[in-house]
Structures are given as structure tokens and as C-alpha cells.
Amino acid sequence: MSADGQINAQQSLESFFDQHAVFTVDEVDRFLTRFRTGNRNTRKSLLAYYKKRGRIVSVRRGLYGVVPRGAEPGKY
């Protein structure tokens, strides 16, 4: 995927997060497929990026929760 495609996917993921407080890996896969980024490694990279930034937290394997903007990730 090109750098422009990844930036577009990241911007779109923010809107996905705004609409899904809790989501599964399968839901993210279906969402990213719309942007032709159904690559498993791309998904893993994006989830790792948002997890490291504190935007999402892992609830259990394959299930994530969104940390609201401005909230502390440690409280979720």
C-alpha cells in the first residue's frame, strides 16, 4: 500500500473508532477492505500504531476498545 493509501486508511480508522466503542479484528478487516487495504500486515501495523498511541486498548485477543479522545488509556 502506498503512503497516501495508509494515511487515508488512518484518517478513515479515526471515523471508524468514533462509531465503534468496541470492535473485533474481523470488523476492522471488513472496514479496511473498503480502502483496498485488506492486507493482514497492514491491519496489524495500524492496530499496533493506535495501541501504542493509546487510542485503542486490547480487551482480549481479537477484541479492542476505543479510548475516547482526551481520556487516559490506563483507565480503560
- pLDDT level of residue 35 (50, 70, 90 thresholds): confident
The CATH number of whichever domain residue 54 belongs to comes to 1.10.10
Give the torsion sign (CA, 60, 54, 65, 36): negative
Q: Report whether 65 contacts 28 (CB < 8 A).
A: no
**Averaged over 28-52, what is the pLDDT?**
88
Q: Report whether 62 contacts 25 (CB < 8 A).
A: yes
- The pLDDT score that the predictor gives to residue 1 is 46
Tally the domains of the chain.
1
Task: Name the residue range of residue 32's domain.
Answer: 3-75
